[in-house]
Structure 1
Amino acid sequence: MIQLIAIDLDGTLLNDRKQITKQTQAVLKAARASGVRIVLCSGRPLRGIDRYLRVLGLTNPGDFAVTYNGGLVQKSDSGEVISEKILTRDQLLSLYALSQERDLPMNFIDREKVYCPPYPKQKPSLYGTVMKTMPFVKADMEHLPADIRINKAVFCISEKILTPAIAEIPQSYRKNYTMVKSHPYLLEILNKDADKGKALQTLTHFLGLASSEVMAIGDEENDLAMIRFAGLGIAMGNAIDALKAEAQFVTKTNEQEGVAYAIEKCVLKR
């Protein structure tokens, strides 16, 4: 029996206007009333998903969220950290060197700010169009604090530039970090032990649940790990092919109430 539903935001829970429809809200409310936990799982920070948590009433004691693509597991009401996987100063310097070699703009993010080191000429970061809930500050890579704690780094630039650049990233980096695309124009880089699947494993252990009691719904590459972890993995109708191939069920698209449809069919049995 499903006890926890993990749901991605963009392209999944949210329609193309970044809204949770009234129908989907009603179905999630019904699932919660039946005793099922709802956990939002996003690449955004907690403050970046706060308005959606509030819309769904998920800011009470006992509510949790997975943020930074699994880099953080937090209590939704207080922000208290259950699990955190960070990048160190040395790792940031290595990733910045990679960004310069591949001629890509890089940003890195902690719980409060987005840092902006110098970008390649005429190749500014597009991350400001994605992240609108945190301040952006300049970063001096030569004088980073030794104890800096960063939740993720990102390369954010047009798909036509990013995709071929990703193909040229040395295998050593792929072994040492979790690298996932959350949008065609956004590569997110995290601690090797951070992904949505590992975060759900940590959370379910904390809650005393088994993976077989978890349903996960997503659409993009960064959702693959949680689809694989969950006892019931659901791909959106608009999901990438790789995710559909891993899922047990393909629901409707995010413009067709796909989340509501999946929960009604697989959890509420309507």
Structure 2
Amino acid sequence: MIAIDLDDSLLDDNLTISQENKQAVRRAIEEGVIVTIATGRMFKSALPYVQQLGIDAPVITYQGALVVNALSRNVLLHCPVPLDLSREIIRESKKNNIHLQVYIDDEYYFEQHNKYSDLYFKVSGIPGKAVGSLEDFLVKEPTKLIMIDEPENILKWMEHYKEKYKGKLQVTISKAHYLEFTNIEATKGNAVRYLADMYGIKREEVIAIGDSFNDIPMLTYAGLGVAMGNAPEIVKSHADYVTYSNNDNGVAHVLEKFVLGGGMPFELCANRRHR
């Protein structure tokens, strides 16, 4: 099984899948390999890419908080954020004047439009809804929450909130501007394990490919964890193998080297960690 991150991994900087990456993924599927997407995106934002690739396996979205069958749209796994913690995050973001978005039933909501809601829309392609007071609006446990701010501020907030919600929530950076809050059990690693168990696939038979902090749990779970060439050094340090960048067909390189090309089986990769 192969789990591939979307943004800054499978997608280039123009948010497109190169022909080389597309062909490699399709060939892997044709050869009987289970390929899934593992993304922090909403399901509806990931779906166009899933359809381009012809993926029919369940798709991991919202950092692992929501696993959805790509064909039937049936929800296989959903781990929302507790309502009390969600409201606490809303109050803190308001106090610190940070743009916050909450996600419910594959839609997202914020208090008012601003440059950060515009930034998110440009990347996701999905419009959100301004609803005024989020604390008054929120009556249902959200799938996730995102703070959006300048990258230097996001790093500061990550340290603060990782400590504050230690053992309560997952707090991770998915893109330089995004700090995401999900259920403590909602990680890409746990979601990849869920699918592997569902299919009866051993951990050693899983490849995970990603570039950011939120990808680390699946890189360390997989038999072969692959970091993109454009990944931060801390992410690369958790990987077994580093491929080319997202603008240089890094995903296709991995599939050709370890799955399609008849080269060294990934189980025997010399860079593998001992577990």
Counterpart-to-counterpart distance in 1, 2:10 and 2:20:
11
Query: In the alignment, does 2:136 pair up with 1:143?
Result: yes
Deviation at 1:128, TM superposition (A): 3.6
Question: Which deviations, in whole Å up to 9, do the C-alpha atoms of 1:153-199 show, x marking residues without a partner?
Answer: 00001213333333333723233110110111110110111010001
2:234 matched residue in structure 1:
242
Distance 2:161 2:171 in 1: 10
The residue number in structure 1 matching 2:6 is 9
| 1:146-165 alignment, distance < 5 Å | 146=139, 148-165=140-157
Aligned in 2, Cα 1:137/1:112: closer, same or farther, shift over 3 Å? farther
2:120 & 2:49 partners in 1: Cα distance?
Answer: 21
Match of 1:51 in 2: 48
State TM-score, norm by structure 2: 0.88
1:177 aligns with 2:174: no
Provide the residue aligned with 1:32 in structure 2.
29
Shift of the 36–123 alpha-carbon distance from structure 1 to 2, 3 Å rule, reads closer
* Contact 1:183/1:220 (8 A) holds in 2: yes
Residues 89, 144 of structure 1: 8 Å contact kept: no
Aligned to 2:207: 215
* Deviation per residue, 1:109-145 (Å, 9 max, x gap): 12232111369xx996553444332432315345346
Superposition TM-score, scaled by structure 1 size: 0.89
* Unmatched runs of 5 consecutive residues or more in structure 2: 264-275
Q: What do the CA deviations read for 1:62-105 (whole angstroms, capped 9, x no partner)? A: x2100001001110012211111001321211111222344322
State whether structure 2 residue 65 is matched by structure 1 residue 71: yes
Rate the CA distance shift 1:98–1:145 in 2: closer, same or farther, 3 A.
Answer: closer
Residue in 2 that maps onto 1:108: 102
SS at match of 2:124: coil
Query: 1:93 corresponds to which letter in structure 2?
Result: R
3-state SS of 1:103 partner: coil
- The alpha-carbon distance between structure 1 residues 28 and 117, as it changes in their structure 2 partners (threshold 3 A), is same
1:203 to 189, 195, 204: 195
Q: Distance in 1 between matches of 2:121 and 2:15?
A: 17
| In 2: Cα distance, 1:20 partner to 1:141 partner | 35
Q: 1:265 to 1:123 in 2, by over 3 A?
A: closer
Q: RMSD of aligned C-alpha atoms? A: 2.1
Structure-2 separation of matches of 1:167 and 1:38? 33
Cα distance change of structure 1 residues 170 and 39 upon mapping to structure 2, 3 Å threshold: closer
* Amino-acid identity (%): 29
The reply to whether residue 131 of structure 1 matches residue 124 of structure 2 is yes
State the alpha-carbon separation in 2 of the partners of residues 170 and 208 from structure 1.
33
Task: Name the aligned partner's letter for residue 130 of structure 2.
Answer: V
SS at match of 2:230: coil
Shift of 1:266: 1.0
Superposed counterparts of 1:60-99, under 5 Å: 60=56, 63-99=57-93
For 2:95 and 2:136, locate their aligned partners in 1 and report how far apart those are by CA, in whole Å: 21
Instruction: List gaps (5 residues or longer) in structure 1.
Output: none
**One-letter code of the match for 1:258?**
G
Residues 182/105 of structure 1: CA separation in 2 closer, same or farther (3 Å cut): same
Give the whole-Å Cα distance in 2 for the aligned partners of 1:29 and 1:218. 19
Moved over 4 A (4+): 122-126
**Which of 41, 47, 52 is matched with 2:38 structurally?**
41
Partner of 1:183, secondary structure, is: coil
Figure out how many residues of one structure are paired with residues of the other and give that number: 261
What does residue 266 of structure 2 align with?
none
C-alpha separation in 2, matches of 1:8 and 1:81: 20
